[in-house]
């Protein structure tokens, strides 16, 4: 087991497990003491930005935890780092163009509380999981409000644009991770742990279920738990074209498949902790994650630069047969580190990290 230290002067950084705020870190410090009596710093951060035969890092990002593809652009969810707030940016790999999409300087949209129908204040915007459905971008926000933010995707002469529409508060006891729009309307979000977050972390450390998949239906304007989805750290989520739901159970080391009503649950065991999910062009589900434990995650919060050196893995899963094909196994971490998402764009996979300074291009999609 490993233990960790919290730097009081730093804002806690996000993780694949959850984005820890300072109170969660303080609470979990006491819980971690139950598991470890001596501290080790762990491997140093990956600071070199050097390509290998198959992996090319671009070290100009801020915790690019989740990605979505629109045309030849990547939409990137950047979680806060230190004193820097989070943001949504657009990146065009073909020429390296990087533009901020939210918040944008000079935006006159009123800002404030979710209950008042106002956009999130830029100073504490903390985007986590995202999902693009048509021209609607859904974003999990951990700032001053725990909510699903909705944006409209547009374009100007320079590239994609985002305009905030409204937000949907999450249940008071839910700390969310990822979100996915539903074909039938509404959306689902993973409640990774309950709030206060330190209690959810403690449950995970003891091997207990910590959350479930939540569904929001606009007709009733209410959240409900999707039956039969309770698990240890529900993380990424995707819906298949036929309405089947897939949930990455991070601490359970498995991918879960259920029907929309929670029936027909199937489990795919994995040899890593699955984080975010995305669909490949061949219809398979890309599952990205880390080889790590609950106690490994907080040490990523102390990074000042570079990337957290957690080993990473990517697998492709057939949604019908549930056959697993390993695509990448970066162990030990040398270039990538703490991978949280992989998406296809052109002839490559683009890989993000929950704690680091880089996107990584992996040549080939299979």
Cα(201)–Cα(295) distance, integer angstroms: 9
For 2-46, write each residue's pLDDT tens digit. Answer: 332 223 223 333 344 444 444 444 334 434 433 443 334 556 899
In a domain, 10, yes or no: no
Q: Specify the number of domains making up the chain.
A: 1
CA distance 45 to 156: 38
Q: Which residues pair with 93 in a beta bridge?
A: none
**What confidence tens digit (pLDDT) does each residue in 179-219 have?**
999 999 999 999 999 887 778 788 888 888 999 999 999 88
Give dist(CA 105, CA 14) in Å, integer: 24
pTM tops 0.85, yes or no: yes
Residue 279 included in any domain? yes
Which residues span the domain enclosing 68?
22-103+120-363
CATH number, position 223: 2.120.10.30
pLDDT digits 0-9 by tens, 303-327: 778 999 999 999 999 999 999 999 9
Please check the confidence at residue 95 and state whether its pLDDT lies above 80. yes
SS3 116: helix
Residue 219 CB coordination number (10 Å)? 7
- Distance, CA of 26 to CA of 10 (rounded, Å): 13
């Amino acid at each position: 087991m490993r233990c960790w230290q919290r730097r009081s002067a730093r804002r806690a950084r996000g993780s694949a497990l959850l984005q820890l705020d300072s109170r969660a870190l303080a609470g979990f410090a006491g819980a971690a003491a139950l598991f470890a009596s001596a501290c080790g710093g762990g491997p140093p951060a990956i600071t070199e930005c050097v390509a290998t035969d198959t992996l090319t890092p671009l070290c100009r990002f801020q915790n690019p935890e989740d990605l979505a593809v629109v045309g030849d652009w990547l939409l990137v969810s950047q979680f806060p780092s230190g004193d820097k707030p989070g943001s949504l940016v657009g990146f065009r790999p073909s020429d390296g163009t990087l533009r901020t999409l939210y918040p944008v300087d000079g935006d006159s949209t009123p800002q404030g509380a979710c209950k008042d129908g106002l956009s999130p204040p830029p100073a504490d915007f903390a985007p986590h999981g995202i999902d693009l459905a048509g021209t609607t971008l859904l974003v999990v926000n951990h700032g001053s409000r725990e909510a699903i933010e909705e944006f409209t995707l547009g374009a100007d002469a320079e590239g994609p644009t985002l305009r905030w529409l409204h937000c949907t508060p999450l249940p008071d006891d839910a700390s969310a991770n990822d979100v996915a729009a539903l074909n039938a309307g509404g959306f689902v979000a993973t409640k990774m742990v309950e709030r206060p977050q330190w209690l959810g972390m403690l449950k995970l450390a003891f091997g207990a279920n910590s959350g479930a998949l939540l569904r929001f239906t606009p007709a009733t304007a209410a959240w409900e738990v999707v039956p039969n989805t309770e698990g240890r750290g529900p993380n990424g989520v995707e819906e298949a074209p036929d309405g089947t739901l897939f949930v990455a159970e991070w601490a359970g080391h498995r991918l879960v498949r259920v029907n929309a009503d929670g029936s027909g649950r199937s489990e795919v065991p994995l040899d890593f902790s699955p984080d975010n999910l995305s669909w490949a062009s061949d219809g398979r589900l890309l599952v990205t994650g880390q080889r790590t434990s609950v106690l490994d995650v907080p040490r990523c919060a102390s990074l000042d630069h570079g990337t957290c050196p957690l080993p990473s893995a990517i697998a492709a899963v057939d949604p019908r047969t549930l056959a697993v094909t390993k695509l990448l196994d970066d162990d030990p971490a040398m270039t990538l580190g703490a991978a949280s998402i992989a998406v296809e764009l052109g002839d490559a996979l683009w890989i993000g990290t929950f704690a680091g300074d880089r996107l990584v291009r992996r040549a080939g999609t299979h």
